[in-house]
Structure 1
Amino acid sequence: MTETARLVERIRLEDGTTTDDLGFLERALTQLFTQLGRFDPSQVDIAIRIKDREKPSMTTTLEVNVHGLPRMIGTSVLTDTKDAVNEAETKVVSQLQRAVDRRNEHR
């Protein structure tokens, strides 16, 4: 099983998402999966929520927990699902890079 597949298994689908979204999320979250590749997938938890999907009030939230790092949350109010997931992912990747840099500075 590939590292990406192991990380996809760590995705917890919450409000507004279903198992039908997993293929899309695997393709959409490639930057995140690349960054998470340095961690053991068993130490990673990922949650995705799409509240009010396909409505003007849609809110997408991507939450990532990596053992030993602070919780990272990216949100988007964009109404296109792909754009919203990409925006939330960009925010989480930025937080992850800062957290890893801070951890490495302390070592």
Structure 2
Amino acid sequence: MAARLLWVSALIATITTGSMAFQCYERMNGTTTTKKVSCPSGWCAKGTLKTGTAMYRCDPVGACALVGDTCMDIPTDKDIMTTCCCNGNLCNSATLYTQHTWLGLISFIVTMMLLA
């Protein structure tokens, strides 16, 4: 009975981890609120001006897919923006999304327990 309960728990955790929508952080110029948004393209971007202002967003047109997981300097009207592209869930920030990390770790541990 306990093995079956562990198996069902591992299955639910694995399905939940895999089914969460791909997201990016979004904060546009002039705002201080950062939010999580769905991103169907699978690419996130973070732009930082030389003045230190940072902007986060989903790449809606797929430009990051052309350049890949890299950073580049892009001239703007008044400044130069360093733009970095990435293709991981909530990857356009220095912080790690804790919920996904714990869910993945628990899924792995339970699966290893079932295989032992």
TM-score by length of 2: 0.26
Tell which structure's C-alpha radius of gyration is larger. Answer: 2
| Structure number with higher relative contact order (C-alpha < 8 Å, ≥ 6 residues apart) | 2
TM-score by length of 1: 0.27
Bigger fraction of residues in strand: 2
